[in-house]
Amino acid sequence: MFHINQLVVYPAQGVGRVEAISSQEIGGATNDFYVVRILNNDGTLLVPVKNAANVGLRTICDSDYGAYVLSTMQDWSDFKGYAGQNWNRRYREYSDKLKTGKLEDVAYVLKELILISQDKDLSFGERRLLEQAMGLITMELACALGREQGEIQTEIENIFHDVLKKNEL
């Protein structure tokens, strides 16, 4: 169970803060909800307490895992690229990964889109996914590592710059 003022992650929305736990009557039944304010857009979500885990609501990662995910950005062995895939198929695959709420899936999408963008122009949808993935990962890592979001983004951009230059991908 989550508590008030706890930082949580909601899939595809990002880091939020539990502002309250409220009871509401819906269809004659009273249900408890977490009131979650998403940090990057100030939106509010009502997440049923009973289904919080089923919808993917989770705590932010710990600092060790955050550092691990950041370090995996330098490993390109899982890069599949876009050979034989059209952008619609990639878009669906990446959207599905972002909806899992798993930090490693977000990192995967970010890595692939950045690497693909080095070789070709991304479609509008892919650029939006790239921005979404960057926002999701930088916000959670900033919270987990106790750093500024812009600092994390700069570090990620530097990782990709250095690796791309070194490997001439």
- 149-158, pLDDT tens digit by residue? 999 999 999 9
Chain Cα centroid distance, residue 61: 11
Choose among 50, 41, 49: nearest CA to 13: 41
Common-topology check for domains 7-59 and 63-167: no
Percent residues over pLDDT 90 in the chain: 59
User: Within 13 Å and on the Cβ side, how many CA atoms surround 164?
Assistant: 14
Convert the pLDDT of each residue in 75-84 to its tens digit.
877 676 665 5
Q: What is the secondary structure of 82-140 as a DSSP string?
A: TTT--HHHHHHHHHHHHHH--HHHHHHHHHHHHHHHHHSPPPHHHHHHHHHHHHHHHHH
Please state which architecture CATH assigns to domain 63-167. Answer: Up-down Bundle (1.20)
CATH of the domain spanning 7-59, picked from 3.90.870.10, 2.60.130.10, 2.40.10.170, 1.10.3720.10: 2.40.10.170
Structure pTM? 0.88
Contacts of 35 (CB under 8 A, 6+ apart): 18, 19, 20, 21, 22, 44, 45, 46
Domain definitions of the chain by residue range: 7-59, 63-167
- Cα Rg of the chain, angstroms: 18
Q: Are 66 and 37 in contact (CB under 8 A)?
A: no
Cα separation, 34 vs 12, whole angstroms? 17
Tell me the per-residue pLDDT of 98-145, one tens digit each, with 9 for 90 and over. 999 899 999 999 998 888 887 778 888 889 999 999 999 999 999 999
